Amino acid sequence: MHTKTLAELARDLKARKLSSEELTRSYLARIERFNPQLNAFITVLQEEALAAARAADARIKRADANALTGLPLAHKDIFCTAGVKTSCGSKMLDNFVSPYDATVVERFRQAGMVLLGKTNMDEFAMGSSNETSFYGPVKNPWDPTRVPGGSSGGSAAAVAARLAPAATGTDTGGSIRQPAALTGLTGIKPTYGRVSRYGMIAFASSLDQAGVITYTAEDAALLLGAMAGFDPRDSTSVDRPVPDYTAELERPLKGLRIGLPKEFFDQGLDGRVGAAVHAALTIYKKLGAEVRDISLPNFWLSVPTYYVVAPAECSSNLSRFDGVRFGHRCESPVDLMDLYTRSRGEGFGAEVKRRIMTGTYVLSAGYYDAYYLKAQKTRTLIRQDFIAAFENVDVIMGPSTPTPAFGLGEKTEDPITMYLNDIYANGVNLAGLPGISIPMGFVDKLPVGLQIIGNYFDEARLLSAAHQYQRETDWHRQIPRGFE
């Protein structure tokens, strides 16, 4: 069962070839067996999952089910989940049990999906390797000495090792696409505003967006159709109709104009990753697509711009974690200032503190104009470059990451080198565009990903382009050795 895609499992459930309870028990057994070596889950909900599976079987039996009813999934531990610990990978929220569901959680629950548990993540989604979690690093199933990427590394590792057929993630600067690429999976970040952020603990409010990590584009289309849509509780949610993504998967690629930015192939890119991109483009040409060279002249400013804007927003969002209302509180504070300083000092990890301090600095009097205001102006230039490119192309393609997965501990002492791992991803968030990463091959026996970037609210085209490629290849069918 665990080798099947979400769409295949949905068809089996509908045909009554298996029950949701059987399926759920199978995944729970795999979690019990493999999670100790991967550290992909923070919380496993065995009893709750089985109860939900039985309820789903009852819905299926009385013909009150939809395409997702009875299918298991895991949620990144950044989504508030009623009655379940929601830690954000931090000591600060190690004791926090959410009193309500995030909109994403609520919509999947209403669809009848079965929640297996909450996955590990970089603390408050700040990291590119899933090494900053209070609960310890997550291991890459393809090579346990390497990182799975971050911040949605727990979700990626769980799906790659077939501990769950799908998982949610969040993408602030590549945190779905990068781990999907490093673990051989499909990961989509929708247009900013397409999916509600209500109940998703904020890192950088103008950049954060929820998405999913799956085996295939078909699976991603199934899930995105359920989670997308307007939510009046989220002021950044866009009131726009949601297409039937699965119905558009078979859209022909003949005439598709693919933009290839020259800036994606400068120094820093592993030549073997670049070769894999060109091999993928050969398949797209065979399917009738046209490749055009384009330029994104301000692309190289994405990383420094991101690392001004994101820390500034994080310093504001994380000010609420002060030891007063909820979360970690220090022992025996002598006064209010002592309560604040020790609770925050003990509750936050090193990377979170680094970003809070950076953000506070760039927002401070005397530096706001020099750093934050300039970064916002540069962000506009980056967005305008993409808008200009989409006047001549339908999608933009390139590598998801410059290299395959790096070793655990390899970059923890050099945050700048770590930040550069998201060099192809940051600009997409700054512009608010949708992006997807799909498996396109292996380098040193480690998976690498092809990134496809689309125009605003054009997720259907991204999913179609990814699906047509996956019909011609089997990279998405590969399973890490030992997890078959």
Closest among 188, 169, 113 to 400, alpha carbons compared: 188
Question: What is the reported pTM?
Answer: 0.96
- pLDDT value at position 1? 85
Measured CA to CA in angstroms, residue 366 lies from 244, 303, 314, 370, 372 at distances of 50, 23, 20, 8, 11
- pLDDT value at position 343? 97
pLDDT, one tens digit per residue, over 77-128 is: 999 999 999 999 999 999 999 999 999 999 999 999 999 999 999 999 999 9
Residue 473 has pLDDT above 90, yes or no: yes
Q: Which residue has the higher pLDDT, 475 or 418?
A: 475
- Determine which one of 20, 76, 128, 196 is catalytic: 76
- Determine which one of 19, 129, 133, 151 is catalytic: 151
Q: Average pLDDT, stretch 145-166?
A: 98
| Dist. CA 430–CA 204, nearest whole Å | 11
- Asked if the bond preceding 20 is cis, omega within 30° of 0, the reply is no
- pLDDT value at position 146? 98
Name the band, by pLDDT with cuts 50, 70 and 90, for residue 250: very high
Q: Average pLDDT, stretch 456-474?
A: 98
- Determine which one of 155, 175, 315, 400 is catalytic: 175
Q: Average pLDDT, stretch 270-288?
A: 97
| Kind plus residue range of the DSSP H or E element containing 124 | none
Q: Is 175 a catalytic residue?
A: yes
Q: Average pLDDT, stretch 308-321?
A: 96
Domain range annotation of the chain? 6-258+391-477
pLDDT, one tens digit per residue, over 180-227 is: 999 999 999 999 999 999 999 999 999 999 999 999 999 999 999 999
- pLDDT value at position 418? 84
pLDDT, one tens digit per residue, over 131-150 is: 999 999 999 999 999 999 99
- pLDDT value at position 266? 83
Residue 420 has pLDDT above 90, yes or no: no
- 6-258+391-477 belongs to CATH 3.90.1300.10: yes
Residue 268 has pLDDT above 90, yes or no: no
Residue 412 has pLDDT above 90, yes or no: no
Q: Is 400 a catalytic residue?
A: no
Cβ 177 vs Cβ 450: under 8 Å: no
Round the average pLDDT of the chain to a whole number and report it. 96
Q: Is 91 a catalytic residue?
A: no
Residue 417 has pLDDT above 90, yes or no: no
